[in-house]
């Protein structure tokens, strides 16, 4: 337990350090890149002081951490809005999208995976596997436009993009959810196949339990454990996947904020978005780890 927690904090420290260093990787003078060549010397000096770029690196990092501890992420270069306010307005939209995608992914992936495992090596299994291979090979920037083309342009059932109506979330959520379901289908299939060969399943069947009880109460419960880890890991990819999906569908979440900030060269905002997404990922993974060890008595920490 201690080692896990210590590892967790080391990683968080590393993430902070790496995001902090980002702005120093800008080729040439970051201030000039951000403000453009036409900016006055006074403006440049002002920004340099604001960002603390004229201090030694170590001191800058300390300063950065100190500000973070007070919930201060700096301010946008262009609008002068505190970045924390931007994040607060955008983050909920991303979480909403990610959670709905996760639900879609689970609702499709787990039943399909069970079905494929039960029909292992029949044509149904082959079909499901091919489809899931196909889906996981399809990145968001492919699937999104395709779904948009079919459901919004050709069929006209759903809005093309934006956030005006409640139905607007459906297409971006499907885009992310389908990708997730592909991975979950394969994981569920593998995990179920493994469990179905175990002794306790044979025993359960030999006892004369109905097939439904054997599959759903005995096998699925054991098979779900590895799936939880995958869900945790995928939750992070979901958060990153939102960058592209939100851009396609004009969904005003943190991913779109990131892209907008890059286009405007508003690096403090870019930095903050990267930090928030990465930290969310690390925290979700840590919680998944904890949950996993709670659920599986075989997992002992430090082992």
Report if residue 57 touches other proteins, rule: CB under 8 A: no
The interaxial angle of helices 123-136 and 170-196, nearest 10 deg, is 130
Pairwise CA distance, residues 275 & 269, whole Å = 10
Among 183, 184, 219, 257, binds other proteins (CB under 8 A): 183
Part of the chain binding other proteins (CB under 8 A), chosen from 66-74, 81-89, 244-252, 290-298: 244-252
Site string for other proteins, 99-138 (x = CB under 8 A): ----------------------------------xx-xxx
Q: Which alpha helices (DSSP H) does the chain contain, by range?
A: 2-22, 30-35, 41-51, 57-69, 83-118, 123-136, 140-147, 170-196, 199-206, 211-212, 220-249, 254-263, 267-295
Report if residue 268 touches other proteins, rule: CB under 8 A: no
Report if residue 11 touches other proteins, rule: CB under 8 A: yes
Which 8-state DSSP code applies to residue 167?
Answer: G
Among 175, 277, 288, 289, binds other proteins (CB under 8 A): 277
* Contacts of residue 203, Cβ cutoff 8 Å, sequence gap at least 6: none
Q: What is the CA radius of gyration of the chain?
A: 24
Residue position matching structure tokens 């890059």: 262
What number of chain residues touch other proteins (CB under 8 A)?
53
Question: What's the min distance (Å) between Cβ of 278 and other proteins?
Answer: 5
Report if residue 267 touches other proteins, rule: CB under 8 A: yes
Report if residue 65 touches other proteins, rule: CB under 8 A: no
Pairwise CA distance, residues 291 & 261, whole Å = 35
Question: What's the min distance (Å) between Cβ of 240 and other proteins?
Answer: 3
Pairwise CA distance, residues 6 & 172, whole Å = 37
Pairwise CA distance, residues 65 & 20, whole Å = 9
Question: What's the min distance (Å) between Cβ of 120 and other proteins?
Answer: 15
Question: What's the min distance (Å) between Cβ of 203 and other proteins?
Answer: 28
Report if residue 6 touches other proteins, rule: CB under 8 A: no
Question: What's the min distance (Å) between Cβ of 211 and other proteins?
Answer: 29
Phi and psi (nearest 5°) for 128? -60, -45
- Where along the sequence are the contacts to other proteins (CB under 8 A)? 7, 10-12, 14-15, 17-19, 22-23, 25-27, 33, 133-134, 136-142, 144-146, 148-149, 153-154, 183, 186, 236-237, 239-241, 243-244, 247-248, 258-259, 262-263, 267, 270, 274, 277-278, 281-282
């Amino acid at each position: 337990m201690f080692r896990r927690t210590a590892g967790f904090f080391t990683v968080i420290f590393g993430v902070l350090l790496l995001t902090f260093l980002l702005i120093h990787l800008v080729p040439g003078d970051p201030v000039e890149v951000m403000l453009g060549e036409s900016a006055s010397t006074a403006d440049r000096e002002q920004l340099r002081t604001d960002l603390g770029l004229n201090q030694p690196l170590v001191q800058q990092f300390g300063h950065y951490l100190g500000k973070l501890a007070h919930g201060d992420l700096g301010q946008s270069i262009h609008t002068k809005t505190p970045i924390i306010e931007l994040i607060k307005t955008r983050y909920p939209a991303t979480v909403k999208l990610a959670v709905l995608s996760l639900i879609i992914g689970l609702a499709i992936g787990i039943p399909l995976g069970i079905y494929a495992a039960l029909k292992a090596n029949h044509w149904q299994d082959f079909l499901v596997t091919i489809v899931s291979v196909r889906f996981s090979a399809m990145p968001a920037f492919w699937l999104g436009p395709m779904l948009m083309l079919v459901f919004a342009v050709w069929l006209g059932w759903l809005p093309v993009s934006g956030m005006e109506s409640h139905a607007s979330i459906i297409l971006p959520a499907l885009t992310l959810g389908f990708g997730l379901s592909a991975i979950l289908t394969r994981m569920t299939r593998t995990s179920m196949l493994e469990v179905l060969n175990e002794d306790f399943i044979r025993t359960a069947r030999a006892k004369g339990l109905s097939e439904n009880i054997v599959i759903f109460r005995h096998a699925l419960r054991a098979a779900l454990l590895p799936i939880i880890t995958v869900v945790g890991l995928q939750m992070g990819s979901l958060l990153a996947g939102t960058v592209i999906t939100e851009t396609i569908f004009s969904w005003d979440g943190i991913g779109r904020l990131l892209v907008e900030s890059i286009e405007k060269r508003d690096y403090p905002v870019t930095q903050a978005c990267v930090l928030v997404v990465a930290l969310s990922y690390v925290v979700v993974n840590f919680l998944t780890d904890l949950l996993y060890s709670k659920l599986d008595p075989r997992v002992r920490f430090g082992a």
